[in-house]
Amino acid sequence: MHKYDYINVPLSLLSPEVVSLITSIHESKGRQELYIEAQSDILFSLLDLAKIQSTKASNQIEGIYTSDERLEALVKEKAEPKNRSEEEIAGYREVLATIHESYEYIAVQTNNLLQLHRDLYSYSGGNIGGAFKNADNVIAEKDKDGVQKVRFFPVPAFQIPDTIEQLCTEFNKALSETKYDPLILIPMFVLDFLCIHPFNDGNGRMSRLLTLLLLYRAGFIVGKYISLEMLIEQSKETYYEALLNSSVGWHENKNDYSSFVQYMLGIVVKAYNEFEDRVAHLRYRKLSKEDRLRAIFDKRLGKITKSDIMKSCPDISMITIERALSSLLEEGYIEKVGAGRGTAYVKK
């Protein structure tokens, strides 16, 4: 049986690479707090965009889709779900909103995990939400030939209540002792949660929601403004590789958390970097739209798509972006490469 050792194991994870990532995150956290205090009026557009991107990406990782128009309407509560996928998307929206608004009051304990899972399925029929799995499950994957194989055997169903209780107890104990930075403990907790796999369904989405919850409670709220779920979805092959590497030997307490810890810390670093980049663009909203796009091309190397510009300047409409791009093309400041969905632009 796995032992949840958050007192001794973290010491072995403090490699120079991990310490560097943790240091970078703390430095970025300090700057973010200054941005929020000084620029609170310009961050609302980032909040709205991150909610949409988080809901879309976390569900897409699990193969749950709807159109972009429907997803935005669901996240903004301007539509009711029409099918099973949309019910699960609406449920994710509900839990995400709860965490954003009330994370200080959601302690890491069994009852709260069950309640969050219940809300994740609050739009779905049946009794799937809010209860631990009632039958053993496996984590499987398909190879390139489409053959499914078992990758990991989670904790048996009959052990789940005691196991989750132990997980929460040991994690909270380690946090209270303040021996290690929460940034090293949080990815460990998330990996253990995924290896336990306590629910019949929704374990992956719950793990990402819990990641946000734990980071917010530790004071790292960048996920409100930059979608961590989107960054994970964009690098999901690396995510699954890190998860696999760190779960080998988990039942026998022989697993190495370092791969997953480094991956998750890297995601947080990237989120903070993107936050600072987007705030910089928003701070210069008094510039013309064309000059703001010009600044994007000045700062970034390589190809830039309309989607990239929308992410950096969520307050500028697509029509305005297209007009500004046309102007920069006529000026000869940029050139167009590719065609159709592969269209992008580069600075000359």
- The predicted structure's pLDDT at residue 134: 93
- The predicted structure's pLDDT at residue 158: 96
Rounded to an integer, what distance in angstroms lies between the CA atom of residue 80 and that of residue 87?
A: 8
Task: Pick one of 2.30.110.10, 3.40.50.300, 1.10.10.10, 3.40.50.170 as the CATH number of 288-347.
Answer: 1.10.10.10
Write out the two tokens for 158.
């009959």
- The predicted structure's pLDDT at residue 48: 87
What's the DSSP call for residue 317?
-
Q: Where are the domains of the chain?
A: 9-281, 288-347
Neighbours of 222 (CB within 10 A): 25
302-308 own/partner pairs: CB under 8 Å, 24+ apart:
302/346, 303/337, 303/338, 303/344, 303/345, 303/346, 304/344, 304/345, 304/346, 305/343, 305/344, 305/345, 306/343
Beta-bridge mates of residue 347: 334
With beta carbons less than 8 A apart as the criterion, state whether 190 and 167 touch.
no
What's the DSSP call for residue 152?
E
| Segments of the chain scoring below 50 in pLDDT | none
Residue with tokens 């026998």: 252
- The predicted structure's pLDDT at residue 284: 62
Write out the two tokens for 189.
């907790």
Digit-coded pLDDT (tens) for 189-219: 999 999 999 999 999 999 999 999 999 999 9
Q: Please state the pTM of the whole predicted model.
A: 0.84
Query: b/e per residue, 101-135, with b = 16+ CB within 10 A?
Result: eebeebebebeebbbbbbbbbebbeeebbbebbee
Residue with tokens 């002792």: 177
Digit-coded pLDDT (tens) for 240-264: 999 999 999 999 999 999 999 999 9
> Residues 165, 167, 173, 179: what is their CA dihedral angle, to the nearest 10 degrees?
180
Rounded to an integer, what distance in angstroms lies between the CA atom of residue 348 and that of residue 345?
A: 9
Helix (H) or strand (E) holding 337: strand 334-337
Task: Pick one of 1.10.3290.10, 2.40.30.10, 1.20.1260.10, 2.60.40.10 as the CATH number of 9-281.
Answer: 1.10.3290.10
In degrees and rounded to multiples of 5, residue 329 shows phi and psi of -65, -45
Give 228-242 as a DSSP string. Answer: HHHHHHHTHHHHHHH
